[in-house]
Every structure is written in structure tokens, then in C-alpha cells.
């Protein structure tokens, strides 16, 4: 069992957990993820490693369905059954020169560990983060510290630039030399934002989020097509060349179980008191 050392709600529906995982933390690198299981009957879900501190790893997640809602119902001192990792290929961290790291929504959670690693490798790092509105923005202060500069965007203009990270990236690429870009967020956001670097041929990495089950390359559920080839996001990724991803296939495969997901969340709510206790 693995103890949640600290749990906090950091934005509307978004939670930050520090979990004691001595087998994961010392080896974790930017771009990697864990697969967790809350209890013996629970499904396995992948979550990105957002930060590491000693023997603890931080996950930041949005409660969107049954398992993430059940996780959000836990708190400091509770325990989860399994945490496997670190999984996936680490980000290609080297001295690129000038880098931009871009996060949309809960995808911002992946940036702190990446921005720090890029800085440590000698890069100048511009962070660009975006959310629908101010109440959904996360980790702003931490990223201001981790990056050389940070631009904040909101879709509704409630804080920062009124618009999308893609608008800021387009401007940056037009005005300055940018050597490498990371974009992490919802698939549609990654697809659209990465168009800004396509023409200039700037190396652009995206962290793909297909449905994963085992996280070890055995089940095939995380199959994606990149550059016309089949790849498994859990072992070949999750980061890939943004300009080669078959985005339409990814988005279709993300939505193959809507009925089951809806029923599963309804069942969880039916069997759970409002205080979070199981009936």
C-alpha cells in the first residue's frame, strides 16, 4: 500500500497528491508517468509524474470519471493499492538552446518537472499555460519559478492574455528562434497548437493520452499511429513528434467507451454517500 502524504484541491475539480513511492521517485524523469490502482478491484489509470521530492511523487489530476472521482474522494493519510512506474520514455532533454513548454488545462501538471530538467540542461525556457478561465489555472507560481518567462492565457480573458497558447506560440516562432517545443494538454489543443511550428520544422513533442490498461506494451489499448507506423504510447511514448501524429485516430479511440464510463460513474455515485464514504 502507498500512502498519500499530502492531498490538496488546487483548482475547480483538480487535485494534487504527493504519494510515497520509494521505488518510483528516485528514478523518475520528465515525461514519464505512473499507473495507479486505488484498490484491489479498481481499474488501472495512467497519470503523469508532475514533480518528485525525495521518496514522494506528485500527481495532479482532474476528476473526470469514476476512478479519478474515487481518487479525489481520498485525502492526506489514505492509502492506494498500487503505483507502478516510472513508465514511458523520458522527454528528450538536452541543450537545445531556446525551448518553449506549453500546457493546456490539467496538462499544465506535466510542465514543472520538464521545465526544470530543460533549465538544468542549459536551455532558456519559455512557459505558456492556458485554461478556459482563471479558476482552472494551476501551478502558475511554480512555473514562473521554473521557467525563464511565463505567459498565462485564458479562453475568456479572466486573467492573462485573452486567447489560446497557440496564438502566443505563433508570435514567438515568428519573432524569435525557438529550437524545441513541448505541448501537453487535450488532444485537440495539442493538434492545433502544434500547427504553429510545422512550417518552420521546429522539433515539437506532444504527450499522447490514449486509453491505457497495462502500461507495459502487452494489451495494445494505447495503440497510436505516428508517421504511418503503429506505436504503443505506454512503451514507445507517451511523447511523440507532433507533426507525425494521426490526431483523428487518437481522438476517435479516446471516445470508444462513453456509455460504460457514464454508467460506471453513476454506479459509483449511487454507492457513495455525499461525505465520500462507501455505502
Ligand X SMILES: Cc1cc2nc3c(=O)[nH]c(=O)nc-3n(C[C@H](O)[C@H](O)[C@H](O)COP(=O)(O)OP(=O)(O)OC[C@H]3O[C@@H](n4cnc5c(N)ncnc54)[C@H](O)[C@@H]3O)c2cc1C
Residues lying near ligand X in the complex (CB under 6 A): 33, 45-48, 60-62, 64-68, 106, 109, 209-212, 238, 254-255, 261, 265
Of 118, 151, 234, 242, which one interacts with ligand FES (CB under 6 A)?
234
Nearer of residues 83 and 212 to ligand FES, judged by Cβ: 212
- Per the DSSP assignment, residues forming a β-bridge with 11 are 14
Binder of residue 21, out of ligand FES, ligand X, none (CB less than 5 to 8 A by kind): none
Contact (CB, 8 A) for 134 and 154 = yes
Nearer of residues 79 and 260 to ligand FES, judged by Cβ: 260
Of 54, 163, 220, 276, which one interacts with ligand FES (CB under 6 A)?
220
Sheet with 124-131, side-by-side order of all strands: 161-162, 149-154, 124-131, 98-104, 180-184, 204-207, 239-241
C-alpha cell, 115: 521545465
Binder of residue 45, out of ligand FES, ligand X, none (CB less than 5 to 8 A by kind): ligand X
Angle of CA points 190, 59, 172, to nearest 5°: 35
Of 217, 230, 257, 262, which one interacts with ligand FES (CB under 6 A)?
217
C-alpha cell, 189: 489543443
Should residue 238 be labelled a site residue for ligand FES when binding is judged by CB under 6 A? Answer: no
Nearer of residues 66 and 178 to ligand X, judged by Cβ: 66
Nearer of residues 230 and 252 to ligand FES, judged by Cβ: 230
Binder of residue 232, out of ligand FES, ligand X, none (CB less than 5 to 8 A by kind): ligand FES
Q: Give the Cα separation of 74 and 76 in Å (integer).
A: 7
Binder of residue 209, out of ligand FES, ligand X, none (CB less than 5 to 8 A by kind): ligand X
Should residue 232 be labelled a site residue for ligand FES when binding is judged by CB under 6 A? Answer: yes
Binder of residue 5, out of ligand FES, ligand X, none (CB less than 5 to 8 A by kind): none
Q: How far is the CB of 48 from ligand FES (least distance, A)?
A: 15
Look-up of cell digits 525563464: 148
Q: Smallest Cα–Cα separation from 10: which of 139, 128, 110, 107?
A: 139
Nearer of residues 85 and 165 to ligand X, judged by Cβ: 85
Of 218, 230, 262, 267, which one interacts with ligand FES (CB under 6 A)?
218
Of 107, 130, 215, 238, which one interacts with ligand FES (CB under 6 A)?
215
DSSP at 3: E
Nearer of residues 6 and 253 to ligand FES, judged by Cβ: 253
For the chain, where are the alpha helices, taking DSSP H only? 66-72, 111-120, 140-146, 165-175, 187-198, 233-236, 247-254, 258-270
C-alpha cell, 134: 482563471
3-state SS of 71-107? HHCCCCCCEECEEEEEECCCCCCCCCCEEEEEEEHHH
Q: Give the Cα separation of 13 and 145 in Å (integer).
A: 24
Q: Give the Cα separation of 237 and 255 in Å (integer).
A: 20
Q: Give the Cα separation of 233 and 214 in Å (integer).
A: 11
Nearer of residues 136 and 233 to ligand FES, judged by Cβ: 233
Which residues are near ligand FES by CB under 6 A?
Answer: 212-215, 217-222, 232, 234
Amino acid at each position: 500500500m502507498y500512502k498519500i502524504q499530502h492531498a490538496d484541491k488546487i483548482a475547480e475539480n483538480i487535485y494534487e497528491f504527493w504519494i510515497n513511492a520509494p521505488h518510483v521517485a528516485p528514478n523518475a524523469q520528465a515525461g514519464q508517468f505512473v499507473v495507479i490502482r486505488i484498490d484491489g478491484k479498481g481499474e488501472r489509470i495512467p497519470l503523469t509524474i508532475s514533480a518528485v521530492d525525495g521518496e514522494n511523487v506528485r500527481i495532479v489530476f482532474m476528476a473526470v470519471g469514476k476512478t479519478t472521482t474515487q481518487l479525489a474522494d481520498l485525502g492526506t493519510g489514505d492509502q492506494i493499492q498500487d503505483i507502478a512506474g516510472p513508465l514511458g520514455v523520458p522527454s528528450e532533454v538536452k541543450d537545445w538552446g531556446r525551448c518553449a513548454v506549453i500546457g493546456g488545462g490539467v496538462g499544465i501538471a506535466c510542465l514543472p518537472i520538464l521545465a526544470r530538467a530543460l533549465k538544468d540542461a542549459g536551455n532558456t525556457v519559455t512557459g505558456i499555460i492556458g485554461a478556459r478561465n482563471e479558476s482552472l489555472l494551476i501551478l502558475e507560481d511554480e512555473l514562473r519559478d521554473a521557467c525563464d518567462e511565463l505567459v498565462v492565457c485564458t479562453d475568456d480573458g479572466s486573467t492573462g492574455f485573452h486567447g489560446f497558447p497557440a496564438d502566443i506560440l505563433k508570435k514567438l516562432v515568428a519573432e524569435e528562434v525557438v529550437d524545441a517545443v513541448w505541448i501537453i494538454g487535450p488532444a485537440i489543443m495539442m493538434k492545433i497548437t502544434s500547427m504553429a511550428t510545422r512550417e518552420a520544422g521546429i522539433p515539437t513533442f506532444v504527450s499522447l493520452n490514449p486509453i491505457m490498461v497495462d502500461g507495459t506494451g502487452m494489451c495494445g489499448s494505447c495503440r497510436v499511429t505516428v508517421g504511418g507506423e503503429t506505436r504503443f504510447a505506454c512503451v514507445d511514448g507517451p511523447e511523440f513528434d507532433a507533426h507525425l501524429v494521426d490526431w483523428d485516430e487518437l481522438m476517435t479511440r479516446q471516445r470508444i467507451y462513453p456509455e460504460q464510463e457514464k454508467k460506471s460513474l453513476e454506479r459509483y455515485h449511487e454507492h457513495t454517500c455525499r461525505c465520500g464514504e462507501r455505502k
